[in-house]
Amino acid sequence: PELSEEPPAEMVKMTKSKTFQAYLPNCHRTYSCIHCRAHLANHDELISKASGLQGRAYLFNSVVNVGCGPAEERVLLTGLHAVADIYCENCKTTLGWKYEHAFESSQKYKEGKFIIELAHMIKDNGWE
């Protein structure tokens, strides 16, 4: 039997005494999981506002407290992409996806970036 790959070293393992893997600083506007309030992204990491599978979604450079499923090819509004679903590490809700590979040159900037659907996010810290 094949052994599964170990997670990257930069990932912090969850422990029973700690709810979230990472906490974003309170001095920045952040986005959190609407279901469990785990931090997901800093507003400074927002690239653009887009459409997801279930309505509005945001594209981020980086996110925290998310796990990543296996990549698969999907035809999205912007063409064929290899994407992997992402989920909240705390409550396991599917939040959106990570762009693993873009097949069209105009979409290459999305590779390694993350889509989180607005239906799964809430604004935290300093939104007035």
DSSP string of 6-23, one letter each residue: PPPTTSPPPBTTBS-S--
Contact 55, 117 (CB under 8 A): yes
pLDDT at 32 over 90: yes
pTM: predicted TM-score of the whole model, two decimal places: 0.77
What count of other Cβ atoms lies within 10 Å of the Cβ of residue 91?
A: 15
Place of tokens 């799964």: 120
Q: For the chain, give every domain's residue range.
A: 30-124
Architecture of domain 30-124: Beta Complex (2.170)
pLDDT for position 14:
40
pLDDT at 4 over 70: no
Q: Per this entry, what is the length of the chain?
A: 128
Q: Count CA atoms closer than 13 A to 70's CA, side-chain side.
A: 3
What are 39-70's pLDDT values in tens digits?
A: 999 999 999 998 777 789 999 999 999 999 99
